[in-house]
Structure 1
Amino acid sequence: MTAVLSAGALSSYLSGMGLGASLIVAIGAQNAFVLRQGLKRRHVGIVVSICAVVDVLLIALGVAGMGALIARAPVLLDVIRWAGAVFVFLYGLRAFIAAWRGPGHLNASDGDSQTAIGAASTVLALSLLNPHVYLDTVVLLGGIGARRGWPGNAWFAAGAMCSSVLWFTTLGYGARLLEPWFEKDMSWRVLDVIVGCVMMWIAASLVFAR
């Protein structure tokens, strides 16, 4: 009996981890910001912690039944969608301006004076002002996990949460491995252009979403 329960728990955990990874690893505004902070080595712990905590809380809310409520509140999602579109557009515009002005060295004197509060505010906005975050974590992951029943739903949620924590930690602290390449000014310009394009694409997808 114990072996059966253990096998079921492991299956739920791995399912949650796999689905969570497939949704979290996709390129987006949040991941782009974490990567940039990791390369700059600025407020990485704060940024990674906020991303992970937000995902953990949203997944927990979804498995607890909040997903059904969100799915029935299209007005709330519309408000988040438009607010997110404006914010992401402005962030993308900022990235294009940074690419135009350049350069962006990794040393402390590169002119990037963003404070810890500023970094925290930005990553919170990028994490919460995007309806896809709620659809992925609360509605999709939460809905699938909730159908498993106890304790399968808890193991499924744990797997998805673990996937999120591992991903953001790896992205934030592993970005420094790319530092040799980003010693070149052109590399920072290319990164800013890519980030700007991603942000504009996300903003457009939010505006024209049906």
Structure 2
Amino acid sequence: MISAAVHGFILAFGLILPLGVQNVFIFNQGATQSKWVYVLPVVLTASICDTVLISLAVFGVSAVVLGVAWIKVTILLIGVLFLLYMGYSTWKSKPKAEGTTGTTFTPRKQIAFAASISLLNPHAIMDTIGVIGTSSLSYMGAVKLAFMLVCILVSWIWFFSLAVAGRLTGKLDHSGRFIIILNKISALIMWGTAIFLIFSILPE
């Protein structure tokens, strides 16, 4: 069981570490929001979505869904639209003036965006199905459950850590210039991911 837990930790950490839309958005919100509590909607949403994806991947349900071609294409198209819109919103967003209240993204908008980039992100889905789901096939019973729970725990810890790192960065950036640059980079990553997904839909 310990080996399965270690395997799950290394695997999940390796998958979640690269700079992607989800990570950039969470870090961005941590840096942008005026208080730590305002970041919780995006962190909790992303964590819960990852929990759902990992659970489905381990139990094999999502693999069946993605086996249907039209469902996969639909998910890709919806993901492209969300990424294009999110990129536009992020590019236009600006940090609040120091001492003012309010948030760049409302809790409802945070939840919608976090859910979309988690559940409608084909890269995240394929990572959970193709890597975590496949790796879990070598385990059974309690050992398989331990593998899954460790993978989920890594996601929760990582997302909270990203938000904290973003929050600390935002407090050091009193001019707001770093946040503006971060917004531009975030938008470019989102648009780049959308373009990549469009090409993945096109027939070879």
TM over 0.5: yes
Matched, 1:52 2:43: no
Residue 159 of structure 2 aligns with an amino acid whose one-letter code is F
Residue among 57, 64, 75 paired with 1:62? 57
**Unaligned residue ranges in structure 1 (runs of 5+):** 1-8
Matched, 1:173 2:167: no
Alignment of 1:51-130 (within 5 A): 51-98=46-93, 102=94, 104-105=95-96, 107=98, 109=100, 112=103, 114-130=105-121
Q: CA RMSD in A?
A: 2.1
CA apart distance, 1:138:
3.1
Relative distance call for 1:129 and 1:67 in structure 2 (3 A) is: closer
Q: Deviations over 1:26-65 (max 9, x none)?
A: 2222212211221213631221111111111211111112
Number of aligned residues: 198
Relative distance call for 1:56 and 1:111 in structure 2 (3 A) is: closer
- Aligned identity (percent) is 25
Q: Matched residues in 2 for 1:115 and 1:93: separation?
A: 16
CA apart distance, 1:95:
2.5
Q: Matched residues in 2 for 1:195 and 1:159: separation?
A: 29
CA apart distance, 1:181:
3.7
Residue 29 of structure 2 aligns with an amino acid whose one-letter code is Q
* Higher alpha-carbon Rg: 1
Matched, 1:14 2:2: no
**Unaligned residue ranges in structure 2 (runs of 5+):** none
Q: Matched residues in 1 for 2:50 and 2:97: separation?
A: 29
CA apart distance, 1:202:
0.6
Instruction: Report SS of the residue matched to 1:183.
Output: coil
Residue 90 of structure 2 aligns with an amino acid whose one-letter code is A
Q: Matched residues in 1 for 2:10 and 2:67: separation?
A: 27
Q: Matched residues in 1 for 2:136 and 2:97: separation?
A: 42
Relative distance call for 1:158 and 1:167 in structure 2 (3 A) is: same
Residue among 18, 23, 26 paired with 1:31? 23
TM-score, length basis structure 1: 0.85
